[in-house]
Amino acid sequence: MLKLSVLGSTGSVGSQTLDVLRMYKYKVSTKLLGASKPSEKLKDQVLEFKPEYVYIEKFDGREFYGSKVINGDSIEKLLEVESDLFINAVSGISGIKSTYLLLKAGKKLATANKESIVCLGEILKDELKRVVPIDSEHSAIYQIISSEKGNPINRIVLTASGGPFLYWKKEELEDVSVDEALNHPKWSMGKKITVDSATLLNKGLEVIEAHYLFGFEYDKIDVVVHPESIIHGMVEFADGTFIANMSHPDMRIPISYAIFGGREKLEIKPLNLVELGSLSFYRPDFEKFPLLKLAIECGKRGSIYPVVLTVADEIAVDKFLSGNIKFTQIHSFIEDVVSSVNFPEPKDLLDLFQLIEEIYHKFRH
Ligand SMILES: NC(=O)c1ccc[n+]([C@@H]2O[C@H](COP(=O)([O-])OP(=O)(O)OC[C@H]3O[C@@H](n4cnc5c(N)ncnc54)[C@H](OP(=O)(O)O)[C@@H]3O)[C@@H](O)[C@H]2O)c1
């Protein structure tokens, strides 16, 4: 039996992880489930999967429906959980601490939480190479590279659906509503990543994520807009061969690959290329989506910039979702933060949290 722990089990990736576990209950035992609060959804999951532990960020009780509680103040206790694999499906910068603790302790980690990879990139360079990615593009690249071990690579290509505003004019973006930004054409995801997908900042974070996970320089990581979202990632090898990873968009595929390290049977709609007829590819429009360019620049600058970008984005997306700024101001807000900060580079987790705190303190209001 594989012993598995899922942080962020009540979210979009977390729930889909439990869908996979439901199919493979005879192979996997759930040691821990985790969320930010003691919600009804978490209660139902705990009653169904009966994990030994439950992580609840803000909760004072010692037990939750029969499971022992670890909370935000005792997060180090995660290391006591006897788990063969931890999955981090927490959203945003809240996922950083667990990624750090688990990797530092040598635990096996699969993560969808890209923010932790981007923010820990400079201080955990070596450890991050051990992480199994769940983000679909990175899983695609990981799957291709794993089956082509040793073959020299020219570059990798991450695909982007283009988000809900791919065909909108730049001027039309001024009046985008929250509902329109949350209406992703291909993926059903949490709110933060859905807004990031609409600005294309998500793809910028993914470029930085790919740099830290796979060790490729930025000139070897390309982004191609591919609205059908059938190809998730491609690798170009030294002999000119391209290998593409294709499927209907469904997070259960990368999740299952991360859990089992291979291909288990899943009930996925079969891919019919004749029915699809054609696939299309475009260069990203950096003028309409300037956050993609800004993110790649932050990645190339390294040092504090990937962290500043991530935190500024988290604040900006919150402001947009609560109606305090317009969609187009997400870019101007992040650009202002990135161009006005001057902090020393973090050397450890304490420094990193100090940096995050200072950015929050200075720019939240
Ligand atoms: N959704 C996708 O298809 C997808 C695809 C690729 C990558 N990702 C990445 O995967 C991550 C999760 O995305 P999502 O769409 O699944 O997000 P989501 O639906 O918003 O779910 C977030 C999860 O994190 C938990 N959480 C939030 N704050 C927490 C905290 N402080 N401590 C512990 N748990 C906390 C939430 O618990 P509560 O329910 O209690 O709030 C929930 O379980 C993100 O980094 C995203 O970029 C997502």
pLDDT of residue 123: 95
Nearest CA to ligand 1 atom 39: 10
Task: Output the six-digit token pair for 111.
Answer: 């993560």
Task: Output the six-digit token pair for 217.
Answer: 């320089």
Report the nearest atom of ligand 1 relative to the CA of 111. 10
Q: Where in the chain is the domain with CATH 3.40.50.720?
A: 2-134
pLDDT of residue 364: 87
Cα(15) to ligand 1 centroid in Å equals 10
pLDDT of residue 186: 86
Ligand 1 within 6 A of CB of 39: yes
Mutate to test the pocket of ligand 1, among 13, 20, 132, 186 (most ligand atoms within 8 A of CB): 13
Tell me the C-alpha distance between 362 and 365, whole Å: 8
Ligand 1 within 6 A of CB of 10: yes
Report the nearest atom of ligand 1 relative to the CA of 72. 32
Nearest to 307 by CA among 348, 359, 363, 362: 359
Ligand 1 within 6 A of CB of 58: no
Report the nearest atom of ligand 1 relative to the CA of 193. 47
Ligand 1 within 6 A of CB of 254: no
Report the nearest atom of ligand 1 relative to the CA of 14. 16
Ligand 1 within 6 A of CB of 90: yes
Query: pLDDT (tens digit, 0 to 9) for every residue of the chain, 365 residues total?
Result: 999 999 999 999 999 999 999 999 999 999 999 999 999 999 999 999 999 999 999 999 999 999 999 999 999 999 999 999 999 999 999 999 999 999 999 999 999 999 999 999 999 999 999 999 999 999 999 999 999 999 999 999 999 999 999 999 999 999 999 999 999 888 889 999 999 999 999 999 999 999 999 999 999 999 999 999 999 999 999 999 999 999 999 999 999 999 999 999 999 999 999 999 999 999 999 999 999 999 999 999 999 999 999 999 999 999 999 999 999 999 999 999 999 988 899 999 999 999 999 999 999 88
Cα(320) to ligand 1 centroid in Å equals 18
Ligand 1 within 6 A of CB of 251: yes
Tell me the C-alpha distance between 63 and 86, whole Å: 21
pLDDT of residue 102: 98
Q: Where in the chain is the domain with CATH 1.10.1740.10?
A: 137-363
- Pairing type for strands 231-237 and 242-246 reads antiparallel
Ligand 1 within 6 A of CB of 18: no
User: HEC profile for the chain?
Assistant: CEEEEEECCCCHHHHHHHHHHHHCCCCEEEEEEEECCCCHHHHHHHHHHCCCEEEECCCCCCEECCEEEEEHHHHHHHHHCCCCEEEECCCHHHHHHHHHHHHHCCCCEEECCHHHHHHHCCCCHHHHCCCEECCHHHHHHHHHHHHCCCCCEEEEEEEECCCCCCCCCHHHHHHCCHHHHCCCCCCCCCHHHHHHHHHCHHHHHHHHHHHHHHCCCHHHEEEEECCCCCEEEEEEECCCCEEEEECCCCCHHHHHHHHHCCCCCCCCCCCCHHHHCCCCCECCCCCCCHHHHHHHHHHHHCCCHHHHHHHHHHHHHHHHHCCCCCCCHHHHHHHHHHHHCCCCCCCCHHHHHHHHHHHHHHHCC
CATH architecture, range 137-363:
Orthogonal Bundle (1.10)
Ligand 1 within 6 A of CB of 196: no
- Expressed in angstroms, the distance from the first to the final Cα of the chain is 49
pLDDT of residue 187: 84
Ligand 1 within 6 A of CB of 13: yes
Report the nearest atom of ligand 1 relative to the CA of 37. 40
Ligand 1 within 6 A of CB of 135: yes
2-134, which class in CATH?
Answer: alpha beta
Task: Output the six-digit token pair for 164.
Answer: 């809900």
Ligand 1 within 6 A of CB of 37: yes
* Whole-prediction pTM: 0.98
Ligand 1 within 6 A of CB of 57: yes
Report the nearest atom of ligand 1 relative to the CA of 115. 45
Q: Which residues of 30-55 are buried (b: 16+ CB within 10 A; e: fewer)?
A: bbbbbbbebeeebeebbeebebbbbb
Tell me the C-alpha distance between 101 and 290, whole Å: 34
pLDDT of residue 336: 96
Ligand 1 within 6 A of CB of 94: yes
Ligand 1 within 6 A of CB of 193: yes
Close Cβ partners of 285 (under 8 Å, ≥ 6 residues apart): none
At 310-361, the pLDDT tens digits run 999 999 999 999 999 999 999 999 999 999 988 899 999 999 999 999 999 9
Identity of residue 23:
M
Q: What is the longest distance spanned by two Cα atoms in the chain?
A: 59
Tell me the C-alpha distance between 343 and 117, whole Å: 20
Decide if 173 contacts 165 (C-beta within 8 A). Answer: yes
Nearest CA to ligand 1 atom 15: 190
pLDDT of residue 365: 83
Ligand 1 within 6 A of CB of 98: no
